[in-house]
Amino acid sequence: MKVLVINTGSSSLKYQLMDMDGEILLAKGLCERIGFYDSVHKYYGKDNYKSKTVKHLKNHLDALEDMLSYLVNRDYGVIENINEIDAIGHRVVHGGEKFSKSVIIDGDVLKGIRDCIDLAPLHNPANIIGIEACMHEMPNKPMVAVFDTAFHQTIPIHAFIYAIPYELYEKYGIRKYGFHGTSHRYVSKRAAKILNKSLDKINIVSCHLGNGASICAIKGGKSVETSMGFTPLSGLAMGTRSGSIDPALISYIMEKMDMTAEETTNYLNRESGVLGISGISSDFRDLLKASEKGNKRAKLAIEIFAYRVKKYISEYIGVLNGIDVLIFTAGIGENNALVRQLITHNMEYMGIKLDLEKNEQARGIERNVSKNDANVQILVIPTNEELEIARECINILS
Ligand code: ADP
């Protein structure tokens, strides 16, 4: 069965075509700057074929048509015609309380995703555009929506309600939703496989550390707590996002900096985090280089990032009454040995003992980096959200 996975942003479209019989990636690509005259289509196809084309992709429908023309191309395509695609999996950012699992897309589901636009005004409209473009281009193909928030719908009420008047939850749906659910679910299932344990019987803390970063406490395969909240702005200090701050700072910053509410939200989303602290970059590779050269604020940014992760891990170990597995995933978690070392330093009393040598060797591959005598298995697991979405498609449709 061939599954096409689609992930649309406001001006981008990412895709992967997978043959799920052997879970083989057939082709993938990315259209960026959709709507501009210099849109870019990067495509990776058969026999390591790679191309980057600059052209005008007017809208997402245009991008989708372009993608299909690549997939069926005689020279570098991977299928003969579109009918070979059996199903389409869509990443949808926000499913609110309505969607606690993946669903087959029909008119009602589309309306449900629309109803959640208020909760994710930047993301859900783009996801809907992607779904509608596929409906137009490939009518009658089964399509499945896989929500970033769905995995966290098992978080208990005492963990998802904010300590503000309860009516705000009832009236406006203000509560913790959590994000990165597809990634946390994928790595937690991988961890159980790697350790040859039943997922129902283990407690996991999963650290998804990329540009956006979140931590999740997972009990028996279910999310019971996570660091992102009503929006992806809360929790850890991230590439450009502040993470949790004193809420009274918002009005204080607005006044001091003479900014509107929207400008302040942007400031906290785009100019804060390790970028704001270092004044250099949101990218950890740049921060590491600068820090090695003696830049104090780059060093401080890395330390603050690691310190916050450590605090969340400790908190979640308390929530779970101990853990069996600690997972590091996403760009920083998978590749940055120094950050993993800083985070796990001095956590022996919680059973966390990092093997420094194994840690140095783990880069972008699945690896157990804990000492042999440690109670907690520390795993580095590259995330694969697209594969998880394709698997969800297969599960739901069968
Ligand atoms: P997102 O998907 O949220 O945009 P990623 O998961 O791609 O983010 O993570 C991006 C972060 O991962 C960046 O800070 C980048 O520096 C870091 N990263 C990626 N590769 C490496 C590497 N080889 N070494 C160190 N850091 C890396």
- DSSP string of 246-269, one letter each residue: -TTHHHHHHHHHT--HHHHHHHHH
Concerning whether 148 is annotated as a catalytic residue, the answer is: yes
* Catalytic choice (62, 66, 148, 324): 148
Question: Would you say how long the chain is, in residues?
Answer: 398
- State the chain's mean pLDDT as an integer: 96
CB 235 within 8 A of CB 228: yes
Residue range 216-227: average pLDDT?
A: 98
Closest CA to 62 of 7, 12, 113: 12
Q: Judging by beta carbons within 10 Å of its beta carbon (0-12, 13-18, 19+), is residue 137 exposed, middle or buried?
A: middle
Q: Kindly state the tokens that stand for 58.
A: 């007017």
Q: Kindly state the tokens that stand for 295.
A: 């830049």
Q: Ligand 1 centroid to 331 CA: how many Å?
A: 3
Residue range 29-44: average pLDDT?
A: 95
Interatomic CA distance for residues 156 and 251, integer angstroms = 31
**Residue among 14, 30, 211 whose CB has most ligand 1 atoms within 8 A, to mutate:** 211
Closest CA to 230 of 154, 152, 136: 152
Q: Ligand 1 centroid to 333 CA: how many Å?
A: 8
Verify whether ligand 1 is closer than 6 Å to residue 283 (CB atom).
yes
Q: What is the pLDDT of residue 269?
A: 93
Q: What is the pLDDT of residue 213?
A: 97
Give me the amino acid identity at 144. Answer: V
Quick one: pLDDT band at residue 363, thresholds 50, 70, 90?
confident
Residue 121 pLDDT > 90 = no
Residue 63 phi, psi (nearest 5): -65, -40
| Beta strands at 103-104 and 143-147: parallel, antiparallel or unpaired | antiparallel
Quick one: pLDDT band at residue 185, thresholds 50, 70, 90?
very high
Interatomic CA distance for residues 147 and 180, integer angstroms = 9
Q: Kindly state the tokens that stand for 248.
A: 């009274």
Residue range 282-299: average pLDDT?
A: 97
Instruction: Give the Cβ contact number of residue 37 at 10 Å.
Output: 10
CB 45 within 8 A of CB 21: no
Residue 219 pLDDT > 90 = yes
User: pLDDT for 250-259, tens place per residue?
Assistant: 999 999 999 9
Q: What is the pLDDT of residue 47?
A: 87
Interatomic CA distance for residues 231 and 389, integer angstroms = 22
Quick one: pLDDT band at residue 119, thresholds 50, 70, 90?
confident
Round the CA-based radius of gyration of the chain to a whole number and report it: 21
Residue 319 pLDDT > 90 = yes
Q: Ligand 1 centroid to 380 CA: how many Å?
A: 14
Q: What is the layout of strands, in order, in the sheet containing 2-8?
A: 50-55, 39-44, 24-32, 13-19, 2-8, 87-92, 143-147, 103-104
Domains plus CATH for the chain?
Answer: 2-147 (3.30.420.40), 197-380 (3.30.420.40)
CB 363 within 8 A of CB 337: yes
Residue 9 pLDDT > 90 = no
Q: Kindly state the tokens that stand for 134.
A: 């596929």
